[in-house]
Amino acid sequence: MTSGGKRIPGAAGNAPTPTAPTAPAVHGGNLHEAAARYGLPYAQWLDLSTGINPHGYPVPPVPAEAWRRLPDDGDDFAACAARYYGAPDAAHVLPVAGSQAAIRALPALLPRAQVGIAPLTYSEYAPAFERAGHDVVPLDVSCETLPDRLTHAVIVNPNNPTAQHLSAARLLQWHAQLRARGGTLLVDEAFADTMPSASLAADTSRDGLIVLRSPGKFFGLAGVRAGFVLGSPTLLDALRQTLGAWTVSGPARHAVKAAFADEAWQRHMRARLDGESERLTHLMHAQRLATRSTPLFAWTDDTRAPALHEALARRGVWTRLFTSSRSVRVGLPGSEAEWVRFEQSLGEAIREIDAA
Protein backbone atom coordinates (compact mmCIF):
# COMPACT_ATOMS: atom_id res chain seq x y z
CA MET A 1 0.00 0.00 0.00
CA THR A 2 1.32 3.45 -0.84
CA SER A 3 0.71 6.99 0.33
CA GLY A 4 1.95 9.97 -1.62
CA GLY A 5 4.11 7.63 -3.69
CA LYS A 6 5.77 6.07 -0.62
CA ARG A 7 5.25 2.54 0.61
CA ILE A 8 4.10 2.41 4.21
CA PRO A 9 6.22 -0.17 6.01
CA GLY A 10 4.20 -3.23 6.97
CA ALA A 11 0.97 -2.04 5.33
CA ALA A 12 -1.17 -4.36 3.27
CA GLY A 13 -0.36 -4.50 -0.40
CA ASN A 14 -3.88 -4.43 -1.82
CA ALA A 15 -7.06 -2.43 -1.35
CA PRO A 16 -9.29 -3.15 1.66
CA THR A 17 -12.06 -5.66 1.10
CA PRO A 18 -15.40 -3.82 0.94
CA THR A 19 -17.58 -4.42 3.96
CA ALA A 20 -21.28 -4.00 4.53
CA PRO A 21 -22.35 -0.50 5.63
CA THR A 22 -22.09 -0.02 9.37
CA ALA A 23 -24.74 1.85 11.33
CA PRO A 24 -23.55 5.31 12.38
CA ALA A 25 -21.97 5.43 15.83
CA VAL A 26 -24.00 7.14 18.53
CA HIS A 27 -22.39 9.84 20.65
CA GLY A 28 -23.33 12.05 23.56
CA GLY A 29 -24.10 15.72 23.03
CA ASN A 30 -27.01 14.94 20.67
CA LEU A 31 -29.25 17.41 22.47
CA HIS A 32 -31.31 18.41 19.43
CA GLU A 33 -32.37 14.78 19.11
CA ALA A 34 -33.43 14.73 22.76
CA ALA A 35 -35.35 18.00 22.41
CA ALA A 36 -37.27 16.65 19.42
CA ARG A 37 -37.97 13.27 21.02
CA TYR A 38 -39.25 14.59 24.34
CA GLY A 39 -40.81 17.86 23.19
CA LEU A 40 -38.75 20.03 25.54
CA PRO A 41 -37.04 23.16 24.15
CA TYR A 42 -33.30 22.84 23.65
CA ALA A 43 -32.47 25.64 26.11
CA GLN A 44 -34.28 23.89 28.97
CA TRP A 45 -32.09 20.79 28.99
CA LEU A 46 -29.29 19.92 31.38
CA ASP A 47 -26.84 18.06 29.16
CA LEU A 48 -24.78 15.49 31.08
CA SER A 49 -24.38 13.15 28.11
CA THR A 50 -20.69 13.82 27.43
CA GLY A 51 -17.51 13.52 29.45
CA ILE A 52 -16.37 17.02 28.52
CA ASN A 53 -15.17 19.28 31.34
CA PRO A 54 -17.97 21.84 31.92
CA HIS A 55 -15.38 24.33 33.23
CA GLY A 56 -13.60 24.90 29.94
CA TYR A 57 -10.25 26.59 29.67
CA PRO A 58 -10.61 30.41 29.38
CA VAL A 59 -8.99 30.89 25.97
CA PRO A 60 -7.26 34.29 25.64
CA PRO A 61 -8.28 36.56 22.73
CA VAL A 62 -7.28 35.15 19.36
CA PRO A 63 -4.72 37.34 17.56
CA ALA A 64 -5.79 38.60 14.14
CA GLU A 65 -3.02 36.75 12.31
CA ALA A 66 -4.40 33.41 13.57
CA TRP A 67 -7.51 34.11 11.48
CA ARG A 68 -5.76 35.72 8.55
CA ARG A 69 -2.81 33.37 7.90
CA LEU A 70 -2.69 29.70 6.95
CA PRO A 71 -1.59 27.45 9.82
CA ASP A 72 2.18 26.98 9.75
CA ASP A 73 3.33 23.41 10.40
CA GLY A 74 6.77 24.87 11.07
CA ASP A 75 5.58 26.54 14.26
CA ASP A 76 6.12 25.04 17.73
CA PHE A 77 2.64 23.47 18.03
CA ALA A 78 3.87 19.86 17.91
CA ALA A 79 6.77 20.68 20.25
CA CYS A 80 4.36 22.28 22.70
CA ALA A 81 2.24 19.12 22.66
CA ALA A 82 5.32 16.93 23.10
CA ARG A 83 6.27 18.87 26.22
CA TYR A 84 2.77 18.74 27.69
CA TYR A 85 2.19 15.04 27.00
CA GLY A 86 5.76 13.95 27.73
CA ALA A 87 6.42 12.52 24.26
CA PRO A 88 10.05 11.95 23.23
CA ASP A 89 10.11 15.02 20.95
CA ALA A 90 8.11 16.90 18.29
CA ALA A 91 9.01 14.31 15.63
CA HIS A 92 6.84 11.82 17.52
CA VAL A 93 3.75 14.09 17.54
CA LEU A 94 1.33 14.84 14.71
CA PRO A 95 -1.45 17.42 15.25
CA VAL A 96 -4.74 16.37 13.64
CA ALA A 97 -8.28 17.72 13.36
CA GLY A 98 -9.45 15.91 16.47
CA SER A 99 -8.78 12.26 17.32
CA GLN A 100 -11.67 11.34 15.05
CA ALA A 101 -9.62 12.14 11.94
CA ALA A 102 -6.88 9.75 13.06
CA ILE A 103 -9.33 7.02 14.05
CA ARG A 104 -10.74 7.07 10.52
CA ALA A 105 -7.36 7.11 8.75
CA LEU A 106 -5.04 4.92 10.85
CA PRO A 107 -6.58 1.47 10.21
CA ALA A 108 -5.79 1.70 6.49
CA LEU A 109 -2.10 2.29 7.32
CA LEU A 110 -1.78 -0.96 9.29
CA PRO A 111 -1.46 -4.49 7.88
CA ARG A 112 -4.93 -6.01 7.65
CA ALA A 113 -5.32 -8.62 10.34
CA GLN A 114 -7.35 -9.49 13.42
CA VAL A 115 -7.74 -6.54 15.77
CA GLY A 116 -9.04 -6.85 19.31
CA ILE A 117 -11.41 -4.17 20.59
CA ALA A 118 -13.41 -4.28 23.82
CA PRO A 119 -17.14 -4.82 23.20
CA LEU A 120 -18.03 -1.72 25.21
CA THR A 121 -15.69 1.13 24.40
CA TYR A 122 -15.57 4.21 22.16
CA SER A 123 -17.87 3.24 19.32
CA GLU A 124 -15.90 4.64 16.35
CA TYR A 125 -13.03 2.14 16.44
CA ALA A 126 -14.70 -1.07 15.34
CA PRO A 127 -16.39 0.47 12.26
CA ALA A 128 -13.17 2.23 11.24
CA PHE A 129 -11.14 -0.99 11.32
CA GLU A 130 -13.90 -2.94 9.58
CA ARG A 131 -14.05 -0.40 6.76
CA ALA A 132 -10.29 -0.83 6.25
CA GLY A 133 -10.68 -4.60 5.85
CA HIS A 134 -9.59 -5.76 9.32
CA ASP A 135 -11.27 -8.59 11.21
CA VAL A 136 -12.53 -7.08 14.46
CA VAL A 137 -12.92 -9.50 17.39
CA PRO A 138 -13.98 -8.87 21.01
CA LEU A 139 -11.12 -8.24 23.41
CA ASP A 140 -11.31 -9.27 27.05
CA VAL A 141 -9.23 -6.58 28.75
CA SER A 142 -9.00 -8.64 31.96
CA CYS A 143 -6.63 -11.11 30.30
CA GLU A 144 -2.92 -11.10 31.06
CA THR A 145 -1.78 -12.48 27.73
CA LEU A 146 -3.38 -11.48 24.46
CA PRO A 147 -4.80 -14.27 22.28
CA ASP A 148 -2.32 -15.58 19.69
CA ARG A 149 -4.69 -14.73 16.83
CA LEU A 150 -4.53 -10.99 17.50
CA THR A 151 -2.16 -8.81 15.52
CA HIS A 152 -3.47 -5.42 16.64
CA ALA A 153 -5.36 -4.19 19.68
CA VAL A 154 -7.17 -0.96 20.55
CA ILE A 155 -7.38 0.18 24.17
CA VAL A 156 -9.18 3.27 25.45
CA ASN A 157 -7.49 4.06 28.77
CA PRO A 158 -9.27 4.98 30.95
CA ASN A 159 -12.09 3.36 29.06
CA ASN A 160 -15.07 5.29 27.77
CA PRO A 161 -17.67 4.58 29.12
CA THR A 162 -16.79 1.98 31.76
CA ALA A 163 -13.96 4.06 33.36
CA GLN A 164 -11.81 0.92 33.63
CA HIS A 165 -8.11 1.79 33.81
CA LEU A 166 -5.26 -0.50 32.81
CA SER A 167 -1.73 -0.09 34.13
CA ALA A 168 1.10 1.09 31.93
CA ALA A 169 2.97 -2.12 32.75
CA ARG A 170 0.10 -4.27 31.44
CA LEU A 171 -0.19 -2.22 28.26
CA LEU A 172 3.54 -2.33 27.55
CA GLN A 173 3.46 -6.10 28.06
CA TRP A 174 0.67 -6.33 25.48
CA HIS A 175 2.59 -4.06 23.13
CA ALA A 176 5.60 -6.39 23.31
CA GLN A 177 3.39 -9.38 22.49
CA LEU A 178 1.82 -7.64 19.49
CA ARG A 179 5.10 -6.23 18.23
CA ALA A 180 6.61 -9.72 18.18
CA ARG A 181 3.82 -10.59 15.72
CA GLY A 182 4.43 -7.49 13.60
CA GLY A 183 1.39 -5.81 15.10
CA THR A 184 0.39 -2.56 16.74
CA LEU A 185 -1.10 -1.42 20.04
CA LEU A 186 -3.24 1.71 19.73
CA VAL A 187 -4.01 3.42 23.04
CA ASP A 188 -6.61 6.19 23.16
CA GLU A 189 -5.87 8.45 26.15
CA ALA A 190 -8.64 11.01 25.57
CA PHE A 191 -9.48 11.01 29.30
CA ALA A 192 -5.92 10.59 30.62
CA ASP A 193 -5.15 14.26 31.35
CA THR A 194 -6.49 13.82 34.88
CA MET A 195 -3.91 11.07 35.47
CA PRO A 196 -0.83 12.11 33.47
CA SER A 197 1.53 9.72 35.22
CA ALA A 198 -0.39 6.78 33.73
CA SER A 199 0.20 7.83 30.11
CA LEU A 200 2.25 5.89 27.58
CA ALA A 201 3.22 9.08 25.74
CA ALA A 202 6.85 8.78 26.84
CA ASP A 203 7.05 5.31 25.27
CA THR A 204 5.93 6.28 21.77
CA SER A 205 9.45 5.96 20.36
CA ARG A 206 8.69 2.22 20.33
CA ASP A 207 7.62 0.91 16.93
CA GLY A 208 4.11 -0.46 16.93
CA LEU A 209 2.83 1.81 19.70
CA ILE A 210 0.38 4.59 18.87
CA VAL A 211 -1.13 6.94 21.44
CA LEU A 212 -4.01 9.31 20.70
CA ARG A 213 -4.51 12.41 22.83
CA SER A 214 -7.16 15.11 22.82
CA PRO A 215 -7.43 18.48 24.59
CA GLY A 216 -11.19 18.38 24.16
CA LYS A 217 -12.15 16.53 27.33
CA PHE A 218 -9.97 17.85 30.19
CA PHE A 219 -9.62 21.37 28.83
CA GLY A 220 -13.25 21.55 27.70
CA LEU A 221 -12.12 22.50 24.19
CA ALA A 222 -13.98 19.91 22.15
CA GLY A 223 -15.18 22.58 19.75
CA VAL A 224 -11.71 23.45 18.47
CA ARG A 225 -11.42 19.96 16.89
CA ALA A 226 -7.77 19.40 17.67
CA GLY A 227 -6.02 16.20 18.63
CA PHE A 228 -2.61 14.53 18.51
CA VAL A 229 -1.23 11.23 17.30
CA LEU A 230 1.92 10.10 19.10
CA GLY A 231 4.03 7.42 17.46
CA SER A 232 6.97 6.62 15.22
CA PRO A 233 8.00 9.33 12.73
CA THR A 234 7.57 6.85 9.85
CA LEU A 235 3.94 6.18 10.74
CA LEU A 236 3.25 9.85 11.37
CA ASP A 237 4.70 10.78 7.99
CA ALA A 238 2.35 8.32 6.28
CA LEU A 239 -0.61 9.67 8.25
CA ARG A 240 0.41 13.26 7.47
CA GLN A 241 0.38 12.48 3.75
CA THR A 242 -3.02 10.82 4.08
CA LEU A 243 -4.65 13.72 5.95
CA GLY A 244 -3.04 16.54 3.97
CA ALA A 245 -2.07 20.06 4.98
CA TRP A 246 -3.58 22.49 7.52
CA THR A 247 -5.42 19.93 9.61
CA VAL A 248 -5.58 22.19 12.69
CA SER A 249 -6.71 25.80 12.29
CA GLY A 250 -4.77 28.83 13.49
CA PRO A 251 -7.35 29.78 16.18
CA ALA A 252 -7.39 26.17 17.43
CA ARG A 253 -3.59 26.13 17.68
CA HIS A 254 -3.69 29.40 19.64
CA ALA A 255 -6.27 28.02 22.10
CA VAL A 256 -4.53 24.69 22.68
CA LYS A 257 -1.04 26.17 23.09
CA ALA A 258 -2.35 28.58 25.72
CA ALA A 259 -4.03 25.71 27.58
CA PHE A 260 -0.94 23.51 27.46
CA ALA A 261 1.24 26.30 28.86
CA ASP A 262 -1.03 27.13 31.81
CA GLU A 263 0.24 24.73 34.45
CA ALA A 264 -1.46 26.58 37.32
CA TRP A 265 -4.87 26.14 35.68
CA GLN A 266 -4.13 22.45 35.08
CA ARG A 267 -3.24 21.82 38.74
CA HIS A 268 -6.31 23.68 39.97
CA MET A 269 -8.61 21.89 37.54
CA ARG A 270 -7.35 18.42 38.39
CA ALA A 271 -8.09 19.07 42.05
CA ARG A 272 -11.50 20.56 41.24
CA LEU A 273 -12.51 17.66 39.03
CA ASP A 274 -11.43 15.14 41.66
CA GLY A 275 -13.76 16.83 44.15
CA GLU A 276 -16.67 17.06 41.74
CA SER A 277 -16.24 13.45 40.71
CA GLU A 278 -16.53 12.43 44.37
CA ARG A 279 -19.68 14.52 44.65
CA LEU A 280 -21.24 12.86 41.60
CA THR A 281 -20.34 9.39 42.84
CA HIS A 282 -21.80 10.19 46.27
CA LEU A 283 -25.11 11.33 44.76
CA MET A 284 -25.40 8.16 42.72
CA HIS A 285 -24.41 5.90 45.61
CA ALA A 286 -27.06 7.59 47.75
CA GLN A 287 -29.60 6.22 45.27
CA ARG A 288 -28.05 2.72 45.50
CA LEU A 289 -26.48 2.99 42.04
CA ALA A 290 -23.18 1.11 41.78
CA THR A 291 -20.79 3.24 39.74
CA ARG A 292 -17.34 3.32 38.24
CA SER A 293 -15.91 6.75 37.47
CA THR A 294 -13.17 8.96 36.11
CA PRO A 295 -12.85 12.60 37.23
CA LEU A 296 -15.01 13.57 34.20
CA PHE A 297 -17.90 11.09 34.29
CA ALA A 298 -19.58 8.26 36.18
CA TRP A 299 -20.94 5.05 34.67
CA THR A 300 -23.46 2.55 36.01
CA ASP A 301 -24.73 -0.76 34.69
CA ASP A 302 -27.34 -1.01 37.44
CA THR A 303 -30.40 -2.94 36.26
CA ARG A 304 -32.38 0.30 36.53
CA ALA A 305 -30.05 2.17 34.18
CA PRO A 306 -32.30 2.25 31.05
CA ALA A 307 -35.29 3.32 33.12
CA LEU A 308 -33.14 5.93 34.83
CA HIS A 309 -32.07 7.41 31.50
CA GLU A 310 -35.71 7.64 30.41
CA ALA A 311 -36.97 9.11 33.70
CA LEU A 312 -34.22 11.74 33.74
CA ALA A 313 -34.94 12.64 30.11
CA ARG A 314 -38.57 13.33 30.95
CA ARG A 315 -37.21 15.84 33.48
CA GLY A 316 -34.94 17.51 30.95
CA VAL A 317 -31.70 15.84 32.09
CA TRP A 318 -29.87 14.17 29.22
CA THR A 319 -27.50 11.28 29.93
CA ARG A 320 -25.81 8.80 27.62
CA LEU A 321 -27.57 5.45 27.30
CA PHE A 322 -25.64 2.42 26.01
CA THR A 323 -28.35 0.12 24.76
CA SER A 324 -26.12 -2.90 24.13
CA SER A 325 -24.99 -3.05 27.75
CA ARG A 326 -28.06 -1.42 29.32
CA SER A 327 -25.84 1.10 31.08
CA VAL A 328 -25.70 4.88 31.53
CA ARG A 329 -22.88 7.43 31.63
CA VAL A 330 -23.35 10.72 33.50
CA GLY A 331 -21.12 13.77 33.09
CA LEU A 332 -20.46 16.57 35.55
CA PRO A 333 -22.91 19.44 36.08
CA GLY A 334 -21.30 22.82 35.44
CA SER A 335 -22.76 25.05 38.16
CA GLU A 336 -24.26 24.80 41.62
CA ALA A 337 -27.74 25.32 40.17
CA GLU A 338 -27.13 22.39 37.82
CA TRP A 339 -25.93 20.21 40.70
CA VAL A 340 -29.10 21.00 42.66
CA ARG A 341 -31.27 20.25 39.63
CA PHE A 342 -29.49 16.97 38.97
CA GLU A 343 -29.75 15.81 42.59
CA GLN A 344 -33.46 16.62 42.67
CA SER A 345 -34.14 14.99 39.29
CA LEU A 346 -32.11 11.90 40.22
CA GLY A 347 -34.02 11.42 43.45
CA GLU A 348 -37.38 11.87 41.72
CA ALA A 349 -36.41 9.47 38.95
CA ILE A 350 -35.30 6.71 41.31
CA ARG A 351 -38.44 7.04 43.43
CA GLU A 352 -40.58 6.81 40.29
CA ILE A 353 -38.71 3.72 39.08
CA ASP A 354 -38.82 1.96 42.44
CA ALA A 355 -42.55 2.66 42.78
CA ALA A 356 -43.38 1.20 39.36
User: What is the tens place of the pLDDT at every residue in 133-176?
Assistant: 999 999 999 998 999 999 999 999 999 999 999 999 999 999 99
Contact predicate 341/317, CB 8 Å: yes
Read off φ and ψ for residue 61, nearest 5 degrees. -50, 140
Kindly tell me if the per-residue pLDDT of 124 is higher than 60: yes
What CA–CA distance (Å, rounded) separates 272 from 295? 9
Question: What's the confidence (pLDDT) of residue 27?
Answer: 62
Q: Which domains does the chain have, with CATH numbers?
A: 31-50+264-355 (3.90.1150.10), 72-248 (3.40.640.10)
- Render pLDDT for 277-317 as a digit per residue (tens, 0 to 9): 999 999 999 999 999 999 999 999 999 999 999 999 999 99
Q: How confident is the model at residue 11 (pLDDT cuts 50, 70, 90)?
A: very low
| Other Cβ atoms closer than 10 A to 337 | 10
Mean pLDDT of all residues in 234-241: 97
Q: How confident is the model at residue 24 (pLDDT cuts 50, 70, 90)?
A: low
Mean pLDDT of all residues in 238-264: 96
Question: What's the confidence (pLDDT) of residue 61?
Answer: 96
Contact predicate 302/323, CB 8 Å: no
Kindly tell me if the per-residue pLDDT of 28 is higher than 90: no
| Other Cβ atoms closer than 10 A to 134 | 25
Question: What's the confidence (pLDDT) of residue 311?
Answer: 98
Kindly tell me if the per-residue pLDDT of 1 is higher than 60: no
Catalogue the E-assigned strands of 193-252: 209-213, 227-230
Catalogue the E-assigned strands of the chain: 2-3, 6-7, 46-47, 93-96, 114-117, 135-138, 152-156, 184-188, 209-213, 227-230, 292-294, 297-300, 317-318, 320-322, 327-331
